[in-house]
């Protein structure tokens, strides 16, 4: 019913607007075309100026409204660089934006039609052209310079002491792997993946390095102040590891591992205090379209003190042990986690929604 | 035709023309309904076919955006009427995730390709190239007709994909594999994706047939005296557009063909190391690269945005100059900057791929080349500003849209400087910032340019005017609405809000914009409704609009206004006029305008003097 009502109101509105438009056409015939033209021109000239002024006020107001909702303090060293670069770019483009928009609408207003004005025949001027080729070129050189300086720092090799963690995307969730005591990731082959046997990544058990690897879906733990290098994989389609608080992002491509590294600055607990939100968590978002559950493909990063990290690590069982339980306990243990790793997309979506 | 008559005796000329017209038809071949309106080989009719098909697509594509904005603005509410219309796709009155992704995919595909490529280039290249260079028709009218019918076939296939049981393609308009290659990974990657690929292949054929025709017409069929440095900027813009299309669309087609092979022939161009949770099976494919597709796609994908924006740059230049009563400033600089954009368009594609694991050094090269494009773009903007400076501006609807175009192009162009810088792209990639950027710079800008062109050349197309009051309402609400929709999205982008999410309630990091999302959705609906008002104005004016009574209603210099009010097939009665000067002699030597057809007199000040 309300739908019908809305459609009826819309239709009525259309008819009213159309009748007014039609009537104005008749009026213009009565008033004479020239007079109508001059009147319309004045109105539109005024509106262009009004749009400029209201628009600039609107830009300021919009900024006031949202500045508290964006870009909390960057939680990684790379994030700080990216924020600095962002402010440099906003400053330069902001000045250009304001100047050019003012010129555009001010000229439009000032040089609106007048019977007395003779337009100035001004087809070209090489000096002017050179000025507005060179000035933007210089400004862009500055931006490219800063940008590449930071870019090479961010994408350069990770420090040797960096903790290496593997993160693998799948429809629709994340799998984290730690190399275990030997600090070496074991070999894996995707055809070995067997979720029923809890081998989500297809680790090759005959490789000894794989036997102490820890695989978890719970959360990605990292140590505050210690560089961390992520080795990023995908098990099916292209995903993207988006870490909004750290300002980092990298695609997860099946068959082609990618990497990124950064140093987290604050523990999750510190961020809870900083943001005043007791439920604060670092979230991993999937930033590359990956199917119907894309919008719910969430992961959690826990940044902790070194001691807490060791404590957590000590509690983890290697994937090998979970996948190859001693014979006598075999029927009992796997039931609960097995259902966990084969969750269907639907229940996972519900889970994220209820979080 | 002599200038004297053109300037002082419009009505006389028209009567003689009407007489001529009838005679002309008397001994000409008889046109039936089918040859005149359906399988027409007249470039003007083909242009109108592209235009009307484009308008229908724009309504469909716009409607899709209204549907998904309903979901984004009201994620917790249900709309029972949606279930009535859409059935299982909106079970319980809520848009289902699969359908949401189908909607955004189709919205992108339809608007980028069917509206802003075929609808825009197809309309204005076909309509304006022969009229402005002084040719009777395209180099190959038959190929031109084929071009439209390939577009029509592509359209039919794309529409039909909306009705298959598993739904249309839903992997985003870029259709990255492996998602788009594997039916088991997504419902939309089943038959819907095949239809999408075949439709797009036909679309590429349409584009190539059209573009080759535009290029050969511009190069070979200019009238006497119409050197390349005398053609209006619209012609240059359409020429560069066609060149871009010819060189880049085949690469896209090759990418699509490899994808079809991967889907049906068991090849592994894009596939490697895949285990699907839905079937619990590992695929046999090894050794392919999903990134290869992205290179092939963006090798077209980036030139494609210039295919969209260049024609409107040309249209806007001509509309602005004619209504400022002043020559376009820096004609040669305009041509040179379009040429620079055209060349650079092929050297920047990987800036869409900074975070795919691309080698950082390669990334840095693409940063440099990408930001280089800002230079010719800046030149164009300053030239438009100088064209307005000390002009005598008539705010016709076309002129207003041209001014709006420049405003939008500045706003959207500047945000490109953020995204082209790889450092910032790490944070902003695939967020709402990207949506805001490309919608403003190639969506809204291109539409503004297209509207400028439509309002300006409507009298030439149909011999009638559109209603001005409706046009003004259309302009102001669209301008304000477009900024209200897309400006705040930059802030969502700064906050890192990802694209292609249909519900943010599960995210502590992104759920702070609930009110804003609702606001944007409401404005979207209003702006969409106003576009329908435009469509109404368009079709109503086509049949009932005020009749054009003078041959040159805008007092413009270019050749199309020397044709009869309703030109027949062949455009000019008798000889094609000869051209003696460039297209921008407005306000020269104290004269309001001097048509291109008027010989240069001895007393005139030399070209370029001011």
Binary contact (B410, A97; C-beta < 8 A): yes
Q: What are the residues whose beta carbons fall under 8 Å from the beta carbon of B169, sequence distance 6 or more?
A: B102, B105, B106, B109, B161, B175, B180, B188, B189, B192, B193, B195, B196
Contact between chains at A295 and B98 (C-beta distance less than 8 A):
no
Residue B343 has what pLDDT?
95
Peptide bond between residue B427 and the one before it cis (omega within 30 degrees of 0):
no
The yes-or-no verdict on residue B7 having pLDDT over 50 is no
Chain A: nearest CA to B556, how far in angstroms? Answer: 15
Domain locations in chain B as residue ranges: 36-274+283-590
> Across the interface, do A129 and B185 touch by the CB < 8 Å criterion?
no
- Structure token pair of residue B581: 């000067």
- B356: Cβ–Cβ under 8 A, 6 or more apart, which residues? A251, A253, A258, B291, B294
Backbone angles phi and psi of B28, in degrees to 5: -95, 165
Q: What one-character DSSP code corresponds to residue B593?
A: B
Question: Does A96 reach chain B within 8 Å, measured CB to CB?
Answer: yes
The average pLDDT across B91-96 equals 91
> Does B501 contact A253 at a Cβ distance shorter than 8 Å?
no
State the average pLDDT over residues B92-114.
94
At B29 the pLDDT is: 61
From chain A, the residues in CB contact with B448 under 8 A are none
pLDDT score at B28:
54
Residue-level pLDDT at A303: 96
Give a yes or no: residue A30 inside a domain: no
pLDDT of residue A7: 84
Contact B320, B387 (CB under 8 A): yes
B481: helix, strand or coil: helix
- A121 in reach of chain B (CB within 8 A): yes
With an 8 Å Cβ cutoff, is B506 touching chain A?
Answer: yes
Closest Cα in chain A to B327: A123
Position B8 scores a pLDDT of: 41
A330: in domain: no
A107 neighbourhood in chain B, CB within 8 Å: 385, 388-389, 391
Instruction: Report the distance separating Cα A146 and Cα A149, nearest Å.
Output: 5
- What's the pLDDT score for residue A29? 82
In a domain, A309, yes or no: yes
Q: Is A229 domain-assigned? A: yes
Q: Which residues of A touch B407 (CB under 8 A)?
A: 101, 104-105
Q: For position B609, what pLDDT does the model report?
A: 53
Q: Is residue A178 part of a domain?
A: yes
Per-residue pLDDT tens over the stretch B585-598: 999 888 899 999 99
Q: Which residues pair with A232 in a beta bridge?
A: A167, A258
In a domain, A262, yes or no: yes
ipTM of the complex: 0.91
The residue segments making up the domain with residue A288 are 163-323+335-354
Q: Is residue A58 part of a domain?
A: no
Superfamily covering domain B36-274+283-590:
Cytochrome c oxidase-like, subunit I domain (1.20.210.10)
Phi, psi of A84 (to 5 degrees): -60, -45
Q: Search chain B and give the residue with CA nearest A103.
A: B385
pLDDT tens-digit profile of B371-380?
A: 999 999 999 9
> DSSP states of B553-591 as a string?
TT---SGGGGS-SS--TTSSSSSPPP--S-S--BSGGG-
Residue B435 has pLDDT above 50, yes or no: yes
A122 touches chain B (CB under 8 A): yes
For residue A166, the cross-strand partners are A177, A231
- CA B561 to chain A, closest CA, distance in angstroms equals 20
How many domains does chain A divide into? 1
Digits of tens for pLDDT over chain A (355 positions)? 677 888 888 888 888 888 888 888 888 888 888 888 999 999 999 999 999 999 999 999 999 999 888 878 899 999 999 999 999 999 999 999 999 999 999 999 999 999 888 899 999 999 999 999 999 999 999 999 999 999 999 999 999 999 999 999 999 999 999 998 889 999 999 999 998 889 999 999 999 999 999 999 999 999 999 999 999 999 999 999 999 999 999 999 999 999 999 999 999 999 999 989 999 999 999 999 999 999 999 999 999 999 999 999 999 999 998 888 776 544 444 444 444 444 444 444 444 444 4
Supply the CATH number for residue A206's domain: 2.60.40.420
Please tell me if residue B513 touches chain A, with a CB cutoff of 8 Å: yes
Does residue B403 have a pLDDT over 70? Answer: yes
- Of the candidates A101, A235, A295, the beta carbon closest to that of B502 is on A295
Q: Which residue of B has its CA nearest to A38?
A: B394
Residue A116 contacts B, CB cutoff 8 Å? no
Omega prior to B497 cis, within 30 of 0: no
Could you tell me which residue, B32 or B445, shows the higher pLDDT? B445
Task: Tell me the average pLDDT across B148-164.
Answer: 96
């Amino acid at each position: 019913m309300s739908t019908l009502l809305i459609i009826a109101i819309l239709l009525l509105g259309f008819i009213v607007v159309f009748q007014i438009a039609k009537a104005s056409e008749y009026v213009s015939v009565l008033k004479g075309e020239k007079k109508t033209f001059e009147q319309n021109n004045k109105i539109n000239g005024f509106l262009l100026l009004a749009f400029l002024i209201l628009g600039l006020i609107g830009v300021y107001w919009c900024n006031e409204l949202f500045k508290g909702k964006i870009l909390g303090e960057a939680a990684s060293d790379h994030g700080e660089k990216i924020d600095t670069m962002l402010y440099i770019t906003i400053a330069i483009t902001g000045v250009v934006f304001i100047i050019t928009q003012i010129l555009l609408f001010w000229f439009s207003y000032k040089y609106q039609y007048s019977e007395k004005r003779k337009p100035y025949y001004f087809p070209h001027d090489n000096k002017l052209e050179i000025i507005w080729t060179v000035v933007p070129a210089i400004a862009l050189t500055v931006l490219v310079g800063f940008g590449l300086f930071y870019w090479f720092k961010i994408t350069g090799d990770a420090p040797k002491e960096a903790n290496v963690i593997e993160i693998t995307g799948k429809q629709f969730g994340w799998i984290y792997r730690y190399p275990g005591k030997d600090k070496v990731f074991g070999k894996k082959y995707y055809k070995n993946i067997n979720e029923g046997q809890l081998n989500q990544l297809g680790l090759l058990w005959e490789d000894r390095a794989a036997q102490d690897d820890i695989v978890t879906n719970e959360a990605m733990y990292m140590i505050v102040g210690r560089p961390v290098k992520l080795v990023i994989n995908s098990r099916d389609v292209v995903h993207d590891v988006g870490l909004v608080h750290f300002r980092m992002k990298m695609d997860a491509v099946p068959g082609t591992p990618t990497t990124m590294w950064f140093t987290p600055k604050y523990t999750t607990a510190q961020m809870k205090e900083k943001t005043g939100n007791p439920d604060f968590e670092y979230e991993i978002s999937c930033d590359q379209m990956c199917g119907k559950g894309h919008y719910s493909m969430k992961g959690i990063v826990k940044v902790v003190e070194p001691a807490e990290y060791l404590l957590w690590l000590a509690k983890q069982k290697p994937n090998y042990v979970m996948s190859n339980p001693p014979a006598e306990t075999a029927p009992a243990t796997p039931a609960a986690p097995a259902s966990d790793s084969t969750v269907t997309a639907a229940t996972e979506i519900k889970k994220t929604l209820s979080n | 035709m002599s200038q004297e008559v053109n300037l002082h005796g419009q009505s006389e000329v028209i009567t003689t023309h009407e007489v001529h017209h009838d005679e002309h038809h008397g001994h000409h071949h008889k046109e039936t309904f089918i040859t005149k309106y359906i399988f027409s080989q007249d470039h003007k009719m083909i242009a109108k076919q592209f235009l009307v098909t484009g308008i229908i697509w724009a309504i469909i594509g716009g409607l899709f955006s209204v549907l998904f904005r309903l979901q984004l603005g009201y994620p917790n509410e249900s709309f029972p009427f949606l279930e009535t219309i859409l059935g299982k796709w909106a079970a319980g009155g809520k848009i289902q995730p699969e359908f949401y992704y189908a909607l955004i995919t189709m919205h992108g595909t339809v608007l980028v390709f069917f509206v802003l490529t075929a609808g825009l280039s197809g309309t204005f290249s076909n309509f304006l190239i022969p009229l402005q260079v002084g040719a009777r028709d395209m180099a190959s009218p038959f190929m031109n007709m084929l071009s439209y019918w390939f577009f029509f076939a592509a359209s039919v296939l794309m529409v039909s994909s909306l009705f298959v049981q598993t739904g249309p393609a839903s992997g985003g308009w870029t259709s990255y594999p492996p998602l788009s290659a594997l039916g088991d990974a997504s419902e939309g990657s089943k038959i819907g994706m095949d239809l999408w690929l075949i439709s797009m292949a036909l679309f590429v054929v349409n584009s190539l047939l059209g573009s080759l025709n535009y290029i050969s017409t511009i190069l070979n069929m200019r009238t006497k005296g119409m050197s390349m440095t005398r053609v209006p900027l619209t012609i240059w813009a359409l020429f560069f557009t066609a060149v871009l299309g010819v060189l880049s669309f085949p690469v896209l087609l090759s990418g699509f063909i490899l994808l079809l092979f991967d889907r049906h022939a068991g090849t592994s161009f894009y596939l490697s190391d895949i285990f699907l949770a839905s079937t619990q099976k590992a695929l046999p494919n090894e050794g392919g690269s999903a990134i290869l597709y992205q290179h092939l796609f963006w090798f077209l994908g980036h030139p494609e945005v210039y295919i969209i924006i260049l024609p409107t740059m040309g249209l806007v230049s001509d509309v602005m100059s004619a209504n400022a009563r002043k020559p376009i400033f820096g004609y040669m600089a305009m041509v040179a900057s379009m040429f620079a954009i055209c060349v650079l368009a092929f050297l920047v594609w990987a800036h869409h791929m900074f975070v795919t694991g691309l080698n950082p050094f390669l990334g840095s090269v693409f940063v440099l080349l990408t930001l280089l494009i800002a230079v010719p773009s800046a030149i164009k903007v300053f030239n438009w500003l100088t064209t307005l400076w000390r002009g005598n501006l008539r705010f016709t609807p076309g002129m207003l849209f041209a001014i709006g175009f420049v405003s939008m192009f500045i706003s959207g162009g500047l945000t490109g400087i953020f995204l082209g810088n790889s450092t910032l792209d790490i944070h902003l990639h695939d967020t709402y910032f990207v949506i805001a950027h490309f919608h403003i710079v190639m969506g809204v800008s291109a539409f503004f340019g297209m509207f400028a062109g439509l309002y300006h050349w409507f009298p030439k197309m149909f011999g009638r005017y559109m209603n001005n009051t409706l046009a003004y309402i259309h302009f102001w609400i669209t301008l304000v609405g477009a900024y209200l929709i897309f400006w705040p999205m930059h802030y969502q982008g700064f906050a890192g809000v990802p694209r292609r999410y249909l519900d943010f309630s599960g995210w502590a990091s992104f759920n702070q914009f609930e009110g804003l999302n609702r606001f944007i959705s409401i404005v979207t609906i209003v702006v969409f409704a106003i576009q329908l008002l435009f469509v109404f104005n368009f079709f109503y004016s086509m049949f009932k609009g005020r009749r054009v009574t003078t041959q040159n209603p805008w007092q413009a210099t270019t050749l199309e206004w020397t044709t009869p009010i309703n030109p027949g097939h062949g455009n000019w009665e008798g000889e094609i006029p000869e051209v003696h000067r460039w297209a921008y002699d407005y306000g020269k030597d104290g004269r309001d305008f001097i048509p291109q057809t008027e010989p240069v007199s001895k007393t005139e000040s030399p070209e370029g003097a001011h």
